[in-house]
Homo-oligomer: A and B are copies of this chain.
Amino acid sequence: MSSASDTDSPPFDDLHRVLEQGAVRRAARMLNALQTAEIAHLLESLPHKERELAWNLVDAEHDGEVLTYLNDDVREQLIGQMDKSELIAALGGLDTDDLADLFPDLPQTLTREVLRSLDQQRRERLQTALGYPEDSAGGLMNTDTVTVRPEVTLDVVMRYLRRLKDGLPDITDNLIVVNRQGYYLGVLYLTDLLTHDPEETVAEAMTLAIKPIRATWSAREVATRFEQHDLVSAPVVNDQGHLLGRITVDDVMDVIREEADHQFLGQAGLSEGEDMFAPVLLSARRRALWLGVNLLTAFLAAWVIGRFEDTIAQVVALAVLMPVVASMGGIAGTQTLTLAIRGLAVGQLSRKNARWLLWKEMAVAAINSVVWALVVALVAMLWFGDPRIALVIGAAITINLLAAALAGALLPLALERFGIDPALAGGVILTTVTDVVGFLAFLGLATLFLL
């Protein structure tokens, strides 16, 4: 991909090669010249043994940051490989929000030691961050806010900034305006600070339109807010409006990416933290579970077919054609299901407009069922020369496409209502429905009209 183009993006393939050749020093130089996110990306693209080798070559000072960028599986592998003192050193330099993300993956014995190694302020910040779920606004936020009071002039603000000994935090597009009690009032964009008259007060130059994010919002709600308001950073408050921290767009991009991975990988029964090069036994165990669930549904379909053994024994053509009926239903239903899951994920499908989607999808299915019932009936007629088989398969396709649209449109909302993730369970249930309905309709009608 990117490495093949004319970009000056990191030379992944080169590094793979150098590692294979065992040119350790050169590999170390190449690795440590990269950004920490790039190192993480590269580690994820290496098989297990090469990954451990490469991890040992990463400078200790980068270790902590690289860990924050890794997916869960890979992170766990590499943490498992480090000894206690290495780990504590790596974690020491991290921001408290990054530390909070890593915390659940650390060995129990270590978390206490890490907590003890922090100063009072950092320990308190870490405990605040740990108080919110990882996928909530509270879990996403940083506590590195720079705040100003509304009554001071811009000139004073600028002098204050120039005295900050560490400069401003990365991705600072605004200063947060709070009152004396720490309640959020608005934001002062750096662009306004730079272009307004320095004699103006913060209150005059600040923007009130940025509504704060509540710490209890889900990560998905935060992402929607950022996307719809084109935000770079946003303040986070508690239920009383007290400023707690801020969320920056780099973390929001990660949320969007993770949600997308969850949706895409989830429907194949994979987790979004899946390591492409996970150990064989671990992968086999995880996959086995998914295969087992699907085997149960396959046996359910087989059981339905089994009810019609006598019919099939008399008309073997049915065995030849029955997968066509099931497969058409599965394909059509998956289209509706995919559209509905996506609508739900971006917040454009709710109970309010779901019936519109249902009617539209039923109408689409009705049209397509007529078209394809005719085509399939014609092919069946030409193939087996029996008009009754043609009629039966045409009718079965019609029934299955309508059932598929119904299931595809209703399943996601129904599953969500019961607290089941549609991205994970939707596909399995849908194809169970279309298999069972397809076989039942086709073989049932055949039993009625062909024998």
Contact = CB atoms under 8 A, between A and B. Distances in A.
A119 interface: no
A122 interface: no
Interface string A348-370: 11101100110010011001100
Copy number in the complex reads 2
B299 A379 contact: yes
A377 interface: no
Interface in A282-334: 283-284, 287-288, 290-292, 294-295, 297-299, 301-302, 305-306, 309, 312-313, 316-324, 326-328, 331-332, 334
A88 interface: no
A415 interface: no
Q: Chain A contact residues (Cβ within 8 angstroms of B): what range?
A: 35 or more
Contact of A194 (B168, B226, B250): B168
B338 A324 contact: no
Interface of A: 1-3, 5-9, 12-13, 16-17, 35, 37-38, 41, 44-47, 158, 161-162, 164, 167-168, 170-173, 190-197, 211, 214, 216-218, 220-221, 224-230, 232, 249-250, 252-254, 256-257, 259-261, 263-265, 267-270, 274, 276-278, 280-281, 283-284, 287-288, 290-292, 294-295, 297-299, 301-302, 305-306, 309, 312-313, 316-324, 326-328, 331-332, 334-335, 337-339, 341-344, 346-350, 352-353, 356-357, 360, 363-364, 367-368, 371-372, 375-376, 379, 383, 435
Given A265-B338, A287-B364, 16 more contacts: A3-B347, A9-B221, A16-B352, A35-B229, A37-B228, A158-B194, A168-B191, A168-B194, A171-B230, A190-B190, A227-B253, A232-B249, A288-B368, A291-B328, A295-B372, A309-B320
